[in-house]
Amino acid sequence: MTDYVVYDVFTDTAFGGNPLAVIPDASALPEDRLQKIAREFNFSETTFVYPPQDARHTARVRIFTPTMEVPFAGHPTIGTAIALCDLGRGSDLVLELGVGPIPCRVDAGAAEFITTHPLQVTHSIDVADCAACLSLPAQDIRTDQHPPVMASVGLGFVLVALTGRDALSRIQTATDAFRQCADKYPSELDFAILAYTRAGDDLQARVFAPLDNIPEDPATGSAAAALTAYLSQREGRSLSLRIAQGVEMGRPSLILARAEAEGGAVSSVAIGGQAVRVMQGRLTL
C-alpha cells in the first residue's frame, strides 16, 4: 500500500484554497496507474514524488491533472514542498519538475518557489473568442492595459483583463467555445483562461480549464506566475502582487507573486502561499 496526504493550498484554513493530493513515495506505483490515480482523486492536480535524478536535489516530482501530465504547476509545487517539509525533508528544497529544478523555501506553514523559466507569449487571442468562452459581452473585456494573450512561464494560460468585479462574477463558461479555441490556439494545456480585475497591486482572479475536467480552479500558481511576469514585462519594472482567487467557489485563496525585472526583461518569478493538511491515507493498490 502507498501513503498519500491531501493539502489545501494557498490558504491557512481547511476547506479553502486548492486541494492537492501528494504521493510522497510513488516508486512502487506502476506507470499505467498514475493517470488513473489522479483521475480518482479528481483534484486539479495530484503529485507523485520520486528520488531525485541529481543527488543534490530533494526529489523528482511529476504532476498530473485529471486528464494529463503537465511539466509545471504552482499549487502542486507549493503543496508538495510543504508536505515534504512536514515529513522531515527539510525547509530548503529543490524539486525536479518537467521545466527543470525549482528551489523552494518553507517557513511556518508557508512556502515560496522561484522560477527563472523565460516568459513566452505564444498567441494573441481575439476578444470575441474570449467573450464567447466566458459568456460575456465583448465590452466587459479590457484591452487598454493589454490585449488577451496566451502567456507561459512553464504552462500556458490566456490572460484576460475585465472591466470590474461585476463582470468577473457573471462569467459562465461555454465549453464548445473552449473547444473551438483549443483548436485555434494550440498549447500544452487544453486552453485555460485566467480572467482578472486589478486595483493597484491587488487582483481578483478566476481560472477556468473545462477541457481538462477543471470547470473552475480555486487557486492557480502557474497562471499567477504567467500573469505577474507578463505584467512586469509590459510595465518594465519589478512587481509584487496579491492575487485573490476561488472566492466565487467558496474556496478563498491568496497567492503572493513577485516578478524581478532587469533591463525591461523578467529575470525571475516567485510564487508564495500557505497550505494546511486536511487528509491522509493509503492507496490500496
Residue for cell digits 512586469? 232
Is 82 in contact with 5 (CB distance < 8 Å)?
no
Roughly how many angstroms between the first and final C-alpha of the chain, as a whole number? 6
Catalytic residue status for 45: yes
Catalytic member of 31, 40, 45, 69: 45
- Please compute, for residue 150, the number of CA atoms within 13 A of its CA located in the half-sphere on the CB side: 21
Give the separation between CA 196 and CA 160, rounded to whole angstroms. 6
Q: How many residues are present in the chain?
A: 285
CA distance 274 to 264: 30
H helices present in the chain, as ranges: 34-41, 74-86, 127-134, 165-169, 175-184, 221-235
The answer to whether the beta carbons of residues 81 and 113 sit under 8 Å apart is yes
**Alpha-carbon span 221 to 228, nearest angstrom:** 10
| Three cell numbers, residue 219 | 487557486
Q: Which residues are catalytic?
A: 45
